[in-house]
Amino acid sequence: MILSIVLFLTVCAGFCEGVMDKLQFHYHKSIFVNFKNDLFWNPEHSWKNKYKNGNPTEGERFRFSTTFLVSLTDGWHFFKLLRNSLLFFSLVVIGYHAKDIVYLISLIVISRTFYGAGFWMSYNYIFKG
């Protein structure tokens, strides 16, 4: 049961990283160009969402929009928050249930493999466009 939870969390984290890379490097060749809110998804513009009127010299759009609430400003940062949260939670689950060092290392290696699989699926197939 614990292994299933850890593997699910790490696949989802890898999936999130695939979304992040697809947005950052291949936005115009992805399905995200079809989404209605281009200002949220398109990294050419979405980074400006953190600032008043899209201008860094005018300061934050809202309190903490450039720090710990940045995940509310664009798709890339939102999926980064999800990825990191899923990874940290899976590490807590692994650490809490580790019986010995061999078990711990095995869980980490298996988790990393599933993380890669999640990334591969989302980057190469699901969001290809």
The domain ranges of the chain are 2-126
- Residue identified by tokens 């979405």 is 46
pLDDT tens for the 129 residues of the chain, in order: 778 888 999 999 999 999 999 999 999 999 999 998 889 999 999 999 999 999 999 999 999 999 989 999 999 999 999 999 999 998 888 878 777 888 888 888 888 898 999 888 888 878 776
64: which DSSP letter? T
pLDDT number for residue 129: 64
pLDDT number for residue 60: 96
The dihedrals phi and psi of 68, each to the nearest 5 degrees, come to -75, -10
pLDDT number for residue 34: 92
Largest CA distance in the chain: 54
pTM attached to this predicted model? 0.84
pLDDT number for residue 79: 97
Sequence-distant (≥ 6) Cβ neighbours of residue 75 within 8 angstroms: 19, 23, 32, 40, 41, 46
